[in-house]
Structure 1
Amino acid sequence: SLALGLIVGVLTTLSIKFLISRCERDAASLSSEAARLHSSEIAVKKIVNGVEGLIGNTPMIKIRSLSKATGCEILAKAEFLNPGGSPKDRVALNMIQMAEEQGLIQPNTGCVIFEGTSGSTGISIAMIARAKGYGAWIVMPDDQAQEKYQLLEKLGAHVEKTRPASIVDENQYVNLAKRRALEFSGGKEHEADNDSNGGKGRGFFADQFENLANFQAHCYGTGPEIYKQTDGKISAFVAGAGTGGTIGGVSSYLKPLIPKLKVFLVDPPGSGLYHKIKHNIMYSPYEAEGSRRRHQVDTVIEGVGLNRLTKNFDLAREFIDDAIRVTDQEAVQMARYLVREEGLFIGSSSAMNCVGAVRVARMLGPGHRIVTILCDSGQRHLTKFWNDEYLREHDILQQQIPSIDILSGSNKNSGDDPLSFIM
């Protein structure tokens, strides 16, 4: 029994030593991994102050497939990763904060924020309004993707739809939103005294097209972020314009710091901005009698394009060097290409921007760095832009999207140029 006890004791000692040795090795491995993570300098804020604290500081993505195909480094700022899903979060927050500073609205007093929008700005306003203690009344054209209306309603906004119309029509969505704000406020426009409305909270018309808080949000936010993320090494900035705030605000910050920077406007079918930059005439051939298929900005690309000058775009004009027209077909093909090659599921205006970036890369030649904006996810475009049946019904998708090899992920029909769908 003594011998048995000695054997048990020795085995126990050896087992303990083995476990200690293994724990020490595991601890060393964990310390090494922790050091590696620390050395990568991951910038993470431990705590942000509410949903507003999530807005901005979006990452910059290198789009590898487009970079490889063009010989340029094509970068895209992932603005769809803002909590409301678009760069309009920045705009909505700045407009609301400036209205608060001017005494036009006060939280938790029954004030309601009114806006006319194709969707994204309304979603951002509805989200921030909820967080800050306001109501939201959003007026939209009735031909937008259904997901936008549904999301607005889930955020608690009152959604009013109106038929697409020219800005001269009193029931055009921007004009109607302004009128609703006046009606809510008893006919008084943007007065700083809430008590003048009989104790009821006031209506505030945010007015993203004319409110320069839009431009400033990108001049003081998006622009500096892009400069820091690229170390100021950019050959071209490429973006569309819905109000002009993004392209104008970003460019106004970057151009004085990067004198050789070229800024390109990307414009969809039916918009007059392309001709305004190219020929200083606010006219599109789509405006000709009988040529329009659906509505004023005759495109499936939502949220961009205008047929009038706004204060925000007027400020942007001096910074824009050239303009590019992108077709619906090119945007649709680009979106399918990027989800196939990159796993990026983007929306219509993001796809348009990426087509523009490729065009600019071809114009400038290899070796340049081009920055654009991914301003929307495909999740808000399932019923239109990502709906092949809808696209075929409207003669936008006249052929099958090139087939994909499921095992390799490659495009069987791509040929030598994977971007041959871009004209």
Structure 2
Amino acid sequence: MDFSKNILETIGNTPLVKLNKIVAEIDALVLAKVETFNPGNSVKDRMAVKMIEDAEADGRLQPGGTIIEGTSGNTGMGLALVAIIKGYKLICVISDKQSKEKMDILRAVGAKVVVCPTDVEPTDPRSYYSVSKRLASETPNSWYVNQYDNMSNSLAHYEQTGPEIWKQTDGKITHFVVGVGTGGTISGVGKYLKEKNPNIKIWGIDTYGSVFKKYHETGIFDENEIYSYITEGIGEDILPKNVDFSLIDGFTKVTDKDAAVYTRKIALEEAIFVGNSAGACIKGLLQLKEHFKPEDVVVVLFHDSGSRYVGKMFNDDWMRERGFLEENVTKAEDVIKDHIDKELIVVRTEELVSHAIERMRKYKISQIPVVDINGFVGSVDETDLFRSYVADKNVAEKPIKEVMGKPFPIVKMGTPIEEVSKLFTKENDAVLIELENGNHHIITKYDIIGSIK
């Protein structure tokens, strides 16, 4: 009989799959190392086992102990599998930008999940780095994994992933392309491959909001490069010890939108359902296409499964809210099609300012058209009301007609979006569109910005 003693023995030996349609413009053989075939559905299973086994060997992790780690979700899943098999407890500290699916999956495999804010400095006591360290100091018989600086991370890929890729390509690999987060995969694989053939090029995929690319090129850690981004699993606002920049030949940066769009393209064009960093890798690969020749063998690594992003990149509403869907927006009605059926909120000239304020609060809006029996006669927005209140604390009991501004411009359906955009000025924050049924709807600056691709 041929069977594994437990699920951990199924980790590794993931398939190498030729990519076709999505890389048609690349004149080389492109192969994807599809790590979603690991039992935890990500490349992180490999280093999770290695880090725990090494910690057991040197006494950092004691029997029945608690494993604590800051994770974007995938490392947590790998650690959870090992913890279940080996009898450890697990606390995963995760940032709030990670998908709900990742958090739910971690809880499903027995981990306690602590969620921290994304938009804070790494040294902030609320950051998931700081919270992880604090929990480790407060929890008896615990071990803080610290995948960023734990060198067993890159060692796992030096011992496993690198040799697999070398063997699967029969040593013909010329380029390795992978997203960089903790740095374990690119450094471990890169070290092994360059020892086999120093001419192999190692390319890292970075994201806007991360420091890697500029640091690699200049040696400068530029804090101005750091800002919040959506792409998961790659990029950092720190320099992990696992990132060996001397092994990396170059970086290319990919936008959040391109990463999301290409994540969906991989599923639709190659029938490979993988995660957000895979989309970034493919877009980065296309950005690097001038580096490849027909005889080259390019391996790109797909980190994890698309199942962890069904509420994000694979959700049309989520994509549309961020302007990531490739939709053709050319007319006035296109920018409001998602809420065109909603009732237009108005206020009448004789109503009190307090009524308008209450309506703004209730419906979470900033501008309201003013009407009387003849139609639209004015408008109010939160800025005007605030100024009026500063000038006169009793303004709330005054009629709207005393504080209203000019009425919003009105356009017909079919008006080109370029013409609508010109109607927005410093003095005018909205435009009304007359619908086919004679009713009206409001177009705000937010609607226009949301339509920009």
Aligned-residue offset at 1:233: 0.7
Equivalent residue for 2:241, pick from 283, 307, 311: 311
Quote the residue 2:307 is aligned against: 379
The answer (yes or no) to whether the contact 1:263–1:320 under 8 Å persists in 2 is yes
Return the TM-score normalized by structure 2. 0.69
Equivalent residue for 2:286, pick from 323, 341, 358: 358
| Counterparts of residues 232-381 of structure 1 (less than 5 Å) | 232-283=171-222, 286-287=225-226, 292=227, 295=228, 298=229, 300-313=230-243, 316-381=244-309
The answer (yes or no) to whether the contact 1:347–1:381 under 8 Å persists in 2 is yes
What amino acid is the match of 2:4? V
Q: Which has the higher contact order (CA 8 A, sep 6+)?
A: 1
Matched residue of 2:281: which SS? helix
C-alpha distance in 2 between matches for 1:362 and 1:331: 20
Return the TM-score normalized by structure 1. 0.74
Equivalent residue for 1:73, pick from 7, 29, 41: 29
Matched residue of 1:323: which SS? strand
The answer (yes or no) to whether the contact 2:50–2:153 under 8 Å persists in 1 is yes
What amino acid is the match of 1:179? R
Quote the residue 1:6 is aligned against: none
In the alignment, structure 1 segments of 5+ residues that lack a partner are 1-44, 186-201, 402-423
In the alignment, structure 2 segments of 5+ residues that lack a partner are 330-453
More strand by share: 2
Matched residue of 2:143: which SS? strand
Q: Judging changes above 3 Å, is the alpha-carbon distance between structure 1 residues 362 and 66 closer, same or farther for their aligned structure 2 residues? A: farther
Q: How many residues align?
A: 328
More helix by share: 1
C-alpha distance in 2 between matches for 1:49 and 1:229: 25
The answer (yes or no) to whether the contact 1:275–1:284 under 8 Å persists in 2 is no
Per-residue deviation, residues 247-269 of structure 1 (Å, max 9, x unmatched): 00000000021121111111012
Q: State which drifts further: 354-363 or 147-156.
A: 354-363
C-alpha distance in 2 between matches for 1:104 and 1:64: 46
Per-residue deviation, residues 29-66 of structure 1 (Å, max 9, x unmatched): xxxxxxxxxxxxxxxx9222201101111111111224
Quote the residue 1:153 is aligned against: 107
2:16 maps to 1:57:
no
2:169 maps to 1:215:
no
Q: RMSD value over aligned CA atoms?
A: 1.8
Aligned-residue offset at 1:322: 1.0
2:350 maps to 1:395:
no
Matched residue of 1:69: which SS? coil
The answer (yes or no) to whether the contact 1:116–1:175 under 8 Å persists in 2 is no
The answer (yes or no) to whether the contact 1:271–1:284 under 8 Å persists in 2 is no
Aligned-residue offset at 1:377: 1.3
2:40 maps to 1:92:
no
